Structure 1
């Protein structure tokens, strides 16, 4: 029944996409984030969902929806350059078979990101994409939260819809980072949503979202979730108008949530402050040192999954010597550095820098446009979401997972929306205090319509 329901959801989106092509792109985002072939493995044997949906989306755009394309800005150019560079580094990878496997899905993620702004053009379309992203993230965060409340959580335990400790939905560090990175997007929808306005029962969903995200993320026992939470709390407090009240609410929420996690959670989180005393954290530090040395020896990158070549020697708490091989990077920055070199890391940072500059430019230009307040708040939400992601992902290797790339795509769509709005005159304020100008009527019209002349007199009289 679960597989039939999931297949029905996919088929419904594809059917609607034949009428509204942007829904086809929503279907691709849903498949890429929700991963129906992992939730119900039987579906993966039935149909290659990702490839099929991608081809249908491209076909629907080319046949039905090639209008008003966005300008190709620097962010899009950098994304295309990034896709080209990771292809180049794969040609000289240390482990070719493994590298080409990872390139296959990483390249598609980046390239499809460059296509999405051509499809998501209007406010409604961008909001629909946000809702699909948030629903996909919630599909795994909510089960984590429920099971953590009743079972106490745990590190490496697959509490989501995916029954493996892998992917963003099953791996705790990634899920914890995603949970907090999405909260600024929830706050934006709470204020500006047209498709899911904050009324009736939806109001309570928006209000409950931070608590659900915190319980679900902390239930993973991932230290990266705590880092993401601290950055989110700082941003939310800084943007609030009632800082004292928000600070008190956050302290109260902390006092309520932390006891639910238990002593085991506190013991694991405390190791973040003494990394040399904990084997896992110490191993990461040694892997990062090895990665810097690798990048110095291969400044143009060693290719995807270059971590398979590391060999870490260390001593455990009992003084015994331990040798570990093929330990993952556990950081997007060291992942990019080891796989694509100093050049790749520069391109990677340039993408983030241009993204933040574009979002700042949008907020500055819409400051005097009340009709575009939603666009400024969307730019702020995207900026905060990516900033939280960057903080949490500093401790998990997800540089090529889709969420941040979809936020980049929406940033390009937002820039294009600003360009279109700048080409149109700003609407007059609703309450300007100035009477509307009326065309002068010919003498015979004034004679035949004395009430119109009397209306003009009343309109000029100050209130």
Structure 2
């Protein structure tokens, strides 16, 4: 039944995508982030829904009367340079015969990210994108929160199998990232039951993140809560809410959860933590040996660890977006990746500064702020996870780029409206003076 439902939704959306190409962006994010077909049990699990949606969207753009252009700005240029540099590092990869699958996967994500950038041109497009991300991840967060309550926090929450977020640590970071976006959507929702549902979803996502037993997620939540409070216009009310909610969530979790989180302070005695540090040393040593191009994709094997890792037989994935990019794409790749993050953050800060004094742009101010909070969670939690190519942060990057363009247009309109009366009065004054003369 689930297979049939997903199939009907996807194929039913194709005519709408041809009519409104931006809806293809919505469907692509839904399929690629939520992976609803993975929840089925039959043919839908392996059916190429994403490819069908991508092809339909690009055809719709090609035949659309409104020509779509890629917004060229520092963020877009850096993103393209990063994508091109990954192509260069692939040419010099340590295992050129093994990188094909990962190369294809990453370039599909990056290619469709450029398509999303082209399609986000209006406020409603941005809001649809945010809703799609929230629903796609929040579905699992609500399920995970209810599971945590049912199990009393005694069993771990895992993500959907076969996706970017199938692991407990990965799905925890996804839950953390959507909570600030839910805060924004709540501020935009007029219906009281809708607002209550979003509050309940936030709490369940937070509980689900704790239920993953992810130490990185715990650190990310802490960083986000502090930043959110600092950015809040009503620090007192938010502080009271945090003071009530956080202890309640922590008290709900069992002793073994607290024992797990306490290992953050004694990481030297934790084999998992030391394995990650070994992988980080491997990435640094590899990058020092191949500083420009790194090792390319697929470097986490016995051959590479034997050459570059302090403990050769302790083979781990990168477990850090920063060391992952460094090891795979060298110092040039890491510089481009960090620059992309800085420029994206500055784009959000620009929106926050320019909209602070305009009540009619409060929605943009709140969205930029909450997107920054979400990205902060990714930057902190991602320091312990191999999620450099996770698509949600790139969609949020697209959202901030589009948001700045929308705000620039709105500010221009506001300035024109402010000067319009003076422009209309001036000719009248000149006419009156001529008559008096």
TM-score (norm 1): 0.84
Structure 2 spans left out of the alignment, 5+ residues: 419-423, 429-437
CA distance in 1: counterparts of 2:25 and 2:313, whole angstroms: 43
Number of the residue aligned with 1:147: 147
- How far does residue 37 in structure 1 lie from its aligned partner after superposition? 3.7
Distance 2:245 2:39 in 1: 32
CA distance in 1, matches of 2:65, 2:132: 20
Partner residue, 1:185: 181
Using the TM superposition, give the Cα deviation of residue 426 of structure 1 relative to its aligned residue in structure 2, in angstroms.
4.2
Residue 257 (str. 1) matches residue 249 (str. 2): yes
Per-residue Cα deviation, 1:122-171 (whole angstroms, up to 9, x for no partner): 1111101110110000121111111111124467653x4x2x3x534421
- TM-score, normalised relative to structure 2: 0.89
- Counterpart of 2:401 (choices 393, 412, 423) is 412
Larger Rg: 1
Aligned residues: 419
Distance 1:157 1:133, change over 3 A: closer
* Alpha-carbon distance change, 224 to 345 in structure 1, aligned in 2, over 3 angstroms: same
Cα pair 2:138 2:178 within 8 Å, conserved: no
Q: CA RMSD in A?
A: 2.5
Asked whether the equivalents of residues 320 and 383 of structure 2 are also in contact (C-alpha less than 8 Å), the reply is yes
Match in the other structure for 2:170? 174
Provide closer, same or farther for how the CA distance between residues 273 and 212 of structure 1 changes in structure 2, counting only shifts above 3 A: same
> Relative to structure 1, is the Cα distance of residues 156 and 88 closer, same or farther in structure 2, using a 3 angstrom cutoff?
farther
Greater CA deviation, 339-348 or 17-26? 17-26
Deviation at 1:417, TM superposition (A): 1.2
- Distance (Å, rounded) in 2 between the aligned partners of 1:143 and 1:72: 40
Q: Is the 8 A contact 2:94 2:295 kept in 1?
A: yes
Shift in CA distance, 94/265, structure 1 to aligned 2, threshold 3 Å? same
Match of 2:296 among 293, 299, 303: 303
Once residues 269 and 84 of structure 2 are traced to their aligned partners in structure 1, the CA distance between those partners, rounded to angstroms, is: 41
> Cα–Cα, structure 1 residues 45 and 368, in superposed 2: closer, same or farther, change >3 Å?
closer
In structure 1, what is the equivalent of residue 19 of structure 2?
19
Distance 1:280 1:207, change over 3 A: same
* Correspondence 1:280-319 to 2 at 5 A: 280-299=272-291, 300-308=293-301, 309-311=304-306
CA deviation profile, 1:21-79 (whole Å, cap 9, x unmatched): 21122111111101134222534466311211111111111112534646311111111
Cα separation, 1, equivalents of 2:223 and 2:229: 10
CA contact (8 A) 1:70 1:413 kept: no
Give 1:97 shift: 3.5
Q: What's 1:243 paired with?
A: 235
Task: Give the distance between the partners of 1:118 and 1:403, measured in 2 at CA.
Answer: 17
The 3 A distance-change label for structure 1 pair 46 and 186 is closer
* Correspondent of 1:345 among 326, 331, 334: 334
Match of 1:61 in 2: 61
Q: Is the 8 A contact 1:154 1:221 kept in 2?
A: no
The alpha-carbon deviation at position 376 of structure 1 amounts to 2.4
Task: Report the Cα distance in structure 1 between the residues aligned to 2:284 and 2:221, rounded to whole angstroms.
Answer: 28
